[in-house]
Chains A and B, each alone.
Chain A
């Protein structure tokens, strides 16, 4: 491989997450000593290529949102690296960190809590621009913000309104406009539609899809709704208890899930085309173990229908089992 080809292969990967860990210390006792840790994210690795959408699914509490927030450095990861355009951003501070945030933006989960109730919508959307481009102001800035508002499907007079005057779906559009304002390369969408009505969900999802083409965006799409993820993503990563279980293309993961956990998840999705037929559902026994005290070996072995003796001893690593399909399971060792 020539050097230019090598460079090209590297630049294609916009984001690369290697063995990311986010442990929250648990303090207790008289002197607030650290007596343990909640391992919210415990060694997550994946990469996102330019222009694609990686969906991250998993039950609540499995560390999806924490992964998203650590990438943006809203949380300081305990260990691991996050390479953005080849640069490790986990150790950045001060000005460099602020600079990198221009390129990575976030759409938040709760449209009611993610907008400042005291600010006009115009101020909310123009604030990121004001933060980075001091020279842009006045009519020029206003026109730019109006443009953004119309682009996400809001009326222009929304500029002078307050967040409380909008519905949940419209508020989420405001949040999207704010994330777009800096023309980022990567947008982390943290369950952007889970708080919305189903009818509004599809509108917002379609808007995100349109914007992706128009602004050349790359998405990390976090969700717990499998049908939403299927609609949005090119590739899908399945998380369980702070670990990635399987990463693969959307088509292969739905056609032939390899990891037992993925198989159980996919079998739970109702399929309208198979009405009347008997569904083979894999029902998982028991509860998700506490991330404060995760099981040894494979985190899923306590509930896995195919668990072997070895599963409680060895922690499986992500391995490419089929082309493009990475699975962390000892069945495929």
Chain B
């Protein structure tokens, strides 16, 4: 239920209206966490800037301009230009698009797969549980890096774009979430309200969707933020090594890989420092948000 804020300034100091859902209580607590709120605002601004990049600048990001290579920052090129003469600032914005998009889509797919597998395994138990969990172990045992490199080598030039990367990362990454969700469901289903949900005629899918998942969701949300940060790091790391998104697509990891050349690393910090800084701040911000969400959902605040 929505809590209507009281307009009267005198009454603002009195106790908050009583009936609040656990969600509303968590939201209120989260809003009071300054670090998390600053991080959230930073992330939202970053996302808006990145996704509106085509409308903010008119510079063609893929065009190589030999006449303007390796220029230091100036009023024309805020962060200078890189070794191919492309504007670093514009590439940073476009890079954010790719990095955030890869991070978000991987997180979504991983959560989707992980929650479904974990919830079914945890709720039904027995042989269903054993089979799903053995499959999860199997997936978890794939050597991530080797698999990505090999797949990319096979698919190189055939299937382009970031889709391959998202698919590969997601398919290899859902095991941890599945395990986490399963263990949470296992402990949560011992509560009598789950028995009650069955005894009042709820079918298994309804018991899972309406009773178990909402109570597991808090853990999943916290896990999602960590996952989001990890996925951005994974994308950057793979791109830095040259196995991530294709070279011509700007991403923070691809921009960082320029620093593999000694002369860039030593003499042209404007090329690699901006993506490094923005990457660090983004990861930090996501982690602060995750920490804030975790605090907000601390079970001691309700029950």
Contacts and interface: CB of A to CB of B under 8 A. Distances in A.
Interface of A: 69, 72, 74, 98, 101-102, 105-106, 108-110, 112-118, 120, 127-128, 131-132, 157, 160-162, 164-165, 175, 178, 181-182
Nearest to B21: A162
B195 A162 contact: no
Interface stretch (B28-36, B73-81, B197-205, B238-246): B197-205
Contact of A131 (B19, B195, B202): B202
11 contacts: A74-B198, A105-B200, A106-B196, A108-B192, A108-B196, A112-B303, A116-B215, A127-B200, A132-B201, A157-B19, A165-B19
Contacts of A108: 192, 195-196
Interface centre among B22, B192, B215 (most CB of A within 10 A): B192
A161 B200 contact: no
B196 A160 contact: no
Contacts, number: 79
Nearest to A102: B201
B302 interface: yes
B22 A109 contact: no
Contacts of A69: 195
Nearest to A115: B193
Nearest to A132: B201
B201 A116 contact: no
A160 B19 contact: yes
A22 to B, nearest CB: 15
Nearest to A104: B199
B301 to A, nearest CB: 9
A120 B196 contact: no
Contacts of B1: 120, 160
A164 B302 contact: yes
A162 B1 CA distance: 10
Nearest to A109: B192
Interface residues of B, number: 25
B199 A101 contact: yes
Given A109-B192, A127-B202, A160-B1, A116 B19 contact: no
Interface string B73-108: 000000000000000000000000000000000000
The 5 closest A-B pairs by CB, nearest first: A128-B200, A114-B192, A131-B201, A118-B214, A108-B192
B22 A117 contact: yes
Contacts of A116: 193, 197, 211, 214-215
A110 B192 contact: yes
Interface string B169-201: 000000000000000000000011101111111
B278 interface: no
Given A114-B193, A117-B303, A162 B199 contact: no
A162 B20 contact: yes
Contacts of A113: 191-193
Contacts of A157: 19
A74 B190 CA distance: 13
B15 interface: no
A105 B201 CA distance: 10
Interface string B219-231: 0000000000000
Given A108-B195, A117-B302, 7 more contacts: A74-B195, A105-B199, A109-B192, A113-B191, A116-B214, A165-B19, A181-B200
Nearest to B196: A114
B12 interface: no
Interface in B1-47: 1, 18-23
